[in-house]
Amino acid sequence: MSVSSYQIHGRTAVIAMNNPPVNALGLELRRGILDGVDRANADAAIDAIVLIGTPSAFSGGADIREFNTPKMLAEPNLHTLIGAIERSAKPVIAAISGGCMGGGLELALGCHFRVALADAQIALPEVKLGLLPGGGGTQRLPRAAGVEIALNMIVSGNTVPAQQLAQTQLLRGPSMGRVLTDSLRSPQYVPDALFDEIVAGDLQSGALAFAGKVVAEKRPLKRVRDLPCTHPEAEAYFQFARNTVRGMAGPFPAPLRCIDAVAAAVTSKTFDEGLAVERAGFEHLLATPESRALRHAFFGERACTKIPDVPEDTPLRPIRTAAVIGAGTMGGGIAMNFANAGIPVKVLEAGAEALERGLGVIRRNYENQVKKGKLTAEKLEARMALIQPTLDYAAIKDADIVIEAVFEDMDVKKTVFETLDATMKPGAILATNTSTLDVDRIASFTKRPQDVVGTHFFSPANVMRLLEVVRGAKTAKDVLATVMKLAKTIKKLPVVSGVCDGFIGNRMIGRYSAEALRMLDEGALPQQVDKAIEKWGMAMGPFRMSDLAGNDVSWLIRKRHYAEHPQMPRAVIADRLCEAGRYGQKTSKGWYAYKPGDRSAYPDAEVEKLIVDYRKEAGITPRRIDDAEIVERLIYALVNEGARILEEGIALRASDIDMVYLNGYGFPLHRGGPMLHADMVGLFGVARRMREFAKQPGADAEFWEPAPLLAKLAAEGKTFN
């Protein structure tokens, strides 16, 4: 089927875009529109042209799959198309419904008139991909909607309903823009050219009627490029905008470049001069690592829901009701996810007291949201009503899915899964939230291992977006597909992981933490390591993170590993810290000291002494480790384990690993995740640094042996992604 059509209604040609799902302006569609415009202009029986999309989208903009490919520039490119429409001798009317975003809005701005449904969604969201609108949007939108409104939209990337933009005079800008709009409002400037009419009822009929009026009244063609672009206090306004945005943009260069481009719309002598500033800004941003990272995250999120051997049309098991076993830290948060999505959920505990405590925590969580104005009191009650406590397995037997979140102990899990096997209805999905235990063993406690899957939530489970979906050896495809879909329903980002100790995220973080500890042995202090990596962009350094999660948690795991592998080297400093009862925030001391009612971490002389004493005992002469080395060692420890995880097929693709780190571990978005970061540094250089680390005194040479996949890609000059 063609992605566009051409139809004649009386003396008006209608070019309809039909390139699902969002009418992305790929090469074929651009050709179709241009052909339609040419055909209408050549036909003496046509007086006007209507360009229309589908109810859900006029156009979502450029086809970003064409980014960095020859197709993007292939003619007619977006500029050529917009120019041709603007120069059309016959009036072109954009009829806008649904999403009208990015290149889609730029296309509409190239038309002579625009009519829209009130609820059409208007945006130039390029900044969210680290770019600026590169199809003339920074030059035409300020002319059509006014400088301030345009700047707010372009810098924030936020979506505004057409109705609101039709009353531009009264408009309050979206979040970031509000500050700008309020302080330097210019009441004398009343832009009116963005929408000529808001259509009620059928869009195409409205657009055809409007076209009839334009022709009958012989209205002059309104070319946005010819409109004036002024601001009464331009210099002060842009200065103010730059100051405000600089602070909000963090490491991202795009928002300031957006301001430069909009400013050029005001200061340039000609339209084309402004367009050249826009073009230069776009090309600059396209090549920045920050934009590459944002686009990687955008595509990575879409990619991670696809599982190669599970067809997209796999029939799903209906999930209408759920149950959670265990109302502790995780169980409570997981239950909230279901209630928030309107799915009734039963929470089962071992005892009445734990149950009451668990439900109390849930209620207090919701109450805090009410206090912050994020939830109404009625919604709180509605959600609590969806969460039913029980002590009896018979009460949950009909649930479509049950998620176990009891103590991390194989014997406890065994009892629970045997009971679930005996009580749950056939076809119920039996999920475990275990962080470290073998999901295949857990499945083996049942006679229906095909129904067992891991759903590894992150703490706090009602907040964190990441969900590792652990695929057991026998997990059925429809169980996997159902859980992936359910994740979306409860607003999580699901990433599939194979079964291994720690799955993707924690297995890698184990290496990172081990390297952090080794640096203490060698000469660093916890605060130095944390500061270096936090400055680089991680939300929290390894020691602050460990204090938050509880140092005893990793201690327990270490003790298990020591028992299994007696030859294994000990993490003496970390073990001694726990032996001293310094479990972290929960005991008011860990790697740092904490004060009541204060979450700040204070360096503690007692910890320093513990570290220094150990070095003396072990005969280690401490050396200064600089911040750059700290960062490289921590991040490359992640990368090397990531490469192994990829090679073993635990992760399906490198971008899945990056999505885990961006959404579950506070990895800085502008760096795109550990694997993309390594790609951007260059794998050859990464592998070389690892070999250098291997030779340093005190290093674990085996640890730094580049994983075979990494070594291979580095040698071939290739990348993970």
Give the binding site for ligand NAD (CB under 6 A).
325-331, 348-350, 354, 358, 405-408, 412, 415-416, 433-435, 456-457, 459
If the CB atoms of residues 358 and 542 are measured against ligand NAD, the closer one turns out to be: 358
- Please indicate whether residue 579 is annotated as part of the active site: no
Name 639's Cβ contacts closer than 8 Å, sequence gap at least 6. 674, 675, 677, 678, 686, 710
Which residue do the tokens 């009264």 mark? 170
**Cβ of residue 303: shortest distance to ligand NAD, in angstroms?**
24
What does the alpha-carbon distance between residue 301 and residue 304 come to, in Å, rounded to a whole number? Answer: 6
Contact call for residues 175 and 156 (beta carbons, < 8 A): yes
**Cβ of residue 533: shortest distance to ligand NAD, in angstroms?**
21
**Cβ of residue 460: shortest distance to ligand NAD, in angstroms?**
8
What does the buried/exposed string (b/e) look like for 321-345 if buried means 16 or more CB atoms within 10 Å of the residue's CB? Answer: bbbbbbbeebbbbbbbbbbbbebeb
- Please indicate whether residue 148 is annotated as part of the active site: no
**Cβ of residue 438: shortest distance to ligand NAD, in angstroms?**
12
- Radius of gyration over every alpha carbon of the chain, rounded to an integer in angstroms: 29
**How many Cα atoms sit within 13 Å of 600 on the Cβ side?**
5
If the CB atoms of residues 245 and 348 are measured against ligand NAD, the closer one turns out to be: 348
If the CB atoms of residues 116 and 396 are measured against ligand NAD, the closer one turns out to be: 396
SS (H, E, C) 378-429: HHHHHHHHHEEEECCHHHHCCCCEEEECCCCCHHHHHHHHHHHHHHCCCCCE
Tell me the backbone φ, ψ of residue 580, rounded to 5 degrees: -85, 5
If the CB atoms of residues 416 and 484 are measured against ligand NAD, the closer one turns out to be: 416
Give the number of residues written for the chain.
Answer: 721
Q: Which residue is nearest to ligand NAD (CB)?
A: 328
Q: Which of 97, 149, 154, 98 is nearest to 129 (CA)?
A: 154
Q: What is the DSSP string of 160-200?
A: EEHHHHHTGGGPPPPHHHHHHHHHT--TT-----S-SEEEP
Q: What is the DSSP string of 516-559?
A: HHHHHHHT--HHHHHHHHHHHT-SS-HHHHHHHH-HHHHHHHHH
Q: Give the containing element (helix H, strand E) for 477.
A: helix 477-489
Determine which one of 28, 75, 86, 126 is catalytic: 126
Query: Is residue 461 classed as helix, strand or coil in its secondary structure?
Result: coil
**Cβ of residue 520: shortest distance to ligand NAD, in angstroms?**
24
Angle (CA) 471 476 478, round 5°: 105
If the CB atoms of residues 105 and 467 are measured against ligand NAD, the closer one turns out to be: 467
If the CB atoms of residues 391 and 715 are measured against ligand NAD, the closer one turns out to be: 391
**Cβ of residue 440: shortest distance to ligand NAD, in angstroms?**
16
Tell me the backbone φ, ψ of residue 348, rounded to 5 degrees: -110, 135
If the CB atoms of residues 283 and 356 are measured against ligand NAD, the closer one turns out to be: 356
**Cβ of residue 331: shortest distance to ligand NAD, in angstroms?**
6
Positions annotated as catalytic residues are 106, 126
